[in-house]
Amino acid sequence: DGGITQSPKYLFRKEGQNVTLSCEQNLNHDAMYWYRQDPGQGLRLIYYSQIVNDFQKGDIAEGYSVSREKKESFPLTVTSAQKNPTAFYLCASSAPGQRETQYFGPGTRLLVL
């Protein structure tokens, strides 16, 4: 089955700790995205990557970092600089020429201890 997987489903972060969220896709999509979803707010773009070894900041990149070493993988690190990390994090991907139609993974819920 083709799709996007995210792990873990739930993640707990202690103060001052960096945590990494995993996102893998086997759709052969070149573009991948990270969004943050908070209650009452639309999806907000954190980072996106159109090709391997290249990525750009979205609207709310502060306190986050990413890497894109492989086409299939786009991990997101929530650093200790992100003071309000509690949210639902969604990874998405899209095919060339179809940037508007993004396909989402199941999400990771990050909670702060």
Partner 1 sequence: QKEVEQDPGPLSVPEGAIVSLNCTYSNSAFQYFMWYRQYSRKGPELLMYTYSSGNKEDGRFTAQVDKSSKYISLFIRDSQPSDSATYLCAMSAGGGYQKVTFGTGTKLQVIP
User: What residues make contact with partner 1 under the rule CB under 8 A?
Assistant: 4, 6, 31, 40-43, 45, 48, 50, 58, 88, 90, 99-107, 109
d(CA 66, CA 1): 26
> Least CB distance from residue 26 to partner 1, whole Å?
16
Could you tell me the smallest distance in angstroms from the CB atom of residue 20 to partner 1?
Answer: 19
Q: Quick one: 73 or 103, whose CB is closer to partner 1?
A: 103
The token duo for 1 is: 């089955």
What are 97's two structure tokens? 């020429």
Q: Which is nearer to partner 1, 7 or 18 (CB)?
A: 7
Pairwise CA distance, residues 107 & 89, whole Å: 5
Taking the complex as a whole, how short is the minimal distance between the CB of residue 16 and partner 1, in angstroms? 27
Nearer to partner 1, 18 or 62 (CB): 62
**Per-residue CA distances from 7 to 4, 10, 20, 57 (Å):** 10, 8, 9, 22
